[in-house]
Amino acid sequence: MADQYEFLTKDNITDYLSSKQVFAELIDANNLVEFKEVGDGNLNLVFIMKDSSGRGIVLKQALPYVRLVGPDWPMTPSRARIESETTIIHSRFAKDLVPEIYDYDPDRFIIAMEDLSDHVVWRGALNSGLRFDGVAGPLGKYVAKTAFGTSIFGLGQEQHKLEAARAINPGLCLITEDLVFTEPYFENGRNSVLPSNEKDAQELANDKEMVNEIGLLKYKFMTAAESLIHGDLHTGSAMIKCEDKKEAVSVKAIDSEFSFYGPIGFDLGALVANYTIAAARACALGNIEQMHWALSLGEQTWVEFEKEFRKLWPSRVDKRVFTDQLLEELIKTWRADTLGYAGAKMARRIVGLAKTSDIETLEPNVREGAARAVLQIARKTTKERNQAKSWAALAKEAAEIIQKTATK
């Protein structure tokens, strides 16, 4: 039975590390000087261990249920296999932008990977008002490299189909289909907002044009097997190392357990959504400069994505009918998809289960306005996604909404 396996604890971790030859060169299991459980996500246990010579390792174990809710919400632990396989595959195309995987244990659903303790979670840095450049661009590059490499253009027709079949991830896709695309519009007992935002949530659910767009985006999410996408690429899925406190020297996309063959715009949209959420927080805390900076990140991610994908395009496997004209059409479609998914991801983080600390840690008096702004921007961005507005125009509109709806 998949749910009958031993969970990692402080007491059994030394035995676990000693039991596998692969760890012998990576860490001295009998001289562990540091042990931390750092899992702050919604699903898993995450441990960081260091030995007396300073070498570290991370063990991430999937529980047979959703950690955020508990055993009442069972969830396949084989998501750990998906994460380890996707990280390894993505490393073939973007080695520097993902953590190194050392081992995957299919009996206990444990991934052993590179210790990134010298990095910080980007969301945490953003929440503290820190402004690191050199993150949004590399994340766009990560999406482009992995999207091209795992697409028909990178793999060819047969391999693409085999890979899409291998990466099938129905349990985790179902979470996204429900939480992102359905529940913000059709309450399922898991939504919540401040009483002062109830009208905003109701307006979202009653917005027929929005619901129609969400239907199109959900259908595409469920059917468009474009590439092996990350599947949950928010600012909490990016770890950054910043030595001089201005420019990141290392960026790593982590936590790809929601990965599957899906639409490329989904990952880009998730990033844009989370930049908007960070901007709403910044304004709520009175940091207008930080708000404008956060709103400029979408353009950085998109520009790097487009530049990198165009660079890779000439190396596509089959050029016969996949002409340069097709690339132009795809870029246009992916831009509209990005904006559509951005709105969907903004709305779910305000109304549905699994919210963001950016908004949730604000005092209710200012949270009200920030949440209202994100919902209004979500609706506008998704519904107007085909209008080919410049990134500067999108950022300006968002800034105006955020400032106009701000509460004190």
Q: Which is nearer to Mg ion, 270 or 398 (CB)?
A: 270
| 267 scored as a contact of Mg ion (CB under 5 A) | no
- Provide the token pair at 64: 């047979």
> For ligand SR1, which residue of 179, 375, 398, 399 counts as binding (CB under 6 A)?
179
| 232 scored as a contact of ligand SR1 (CB under 6 A) | yes
| 83 scored as a contact of Mg ion (CB under 5 A) | no
Q: 233 — alpha (psi -120 to 50), left (phi > 0) or beta?
A: beta
Of 349-378, binders to ligand SR1 (CB under 6 A) are: 354
Residue 66 binding partner per list Mg ion, ligand SR1, none, with a CB distance cut-off of 5 to 8 Å that depends on partner kind: ligand SR1
Which has the closest alpha carbon to 63: 128, 114, 126, 4?
Answer: 4
- The region of 4-12, 51-59, 119-127, 173-181 touching ligand SR1 under the rule CB under 6 A is 173-181
What stretch of H or E contains 264? helix 264-284
Measured CA distances, 9 to 59, 60, 406 (Å): 11, 12, 45
Number of residues that bind ligand SR1 (CB under 6 A): 9
Residues 37/59, Cβ–Cβ less than 8 Å: no
> For Mg ion, which residue of 255, 299, 304, 337 counts as binding (CB under 5 A)?
255
Q: Which is nearer to ligand SR1, 26 or 175 (CB)?
A: 175
- The region of 70-78, 229-237, 283-291, 342-350 touching Mg ion under the rule CB under 5 A is 229-237
Cα-based torsion angle of the residue sequence 155, 82, 68, 361 in order, rounded to the nearest 10 degrees = -40
> For ligand SR1, which residue of 42, 117, 196, 250 counts as binding (CB under 6 A)?
42
d(CA 48, CA 27): 11
Residues 258/230, Cβ–Cβ less than 8 Å: yes
Residue 354 binding partner per list ligand SR1, Mg ion, none, with a CB distance cut-off of 5 to 8 Å that depends on partner kind: ligand SR1
CB of residue 88 vs Mg ion: minimum separation in angstroms? 18
CB of residue 184 vs ligand SR1: minimum separation in angstroms? 12
Residue 158, CB half-sphere, CA atoms under 13 Å: how many? Answer: 0
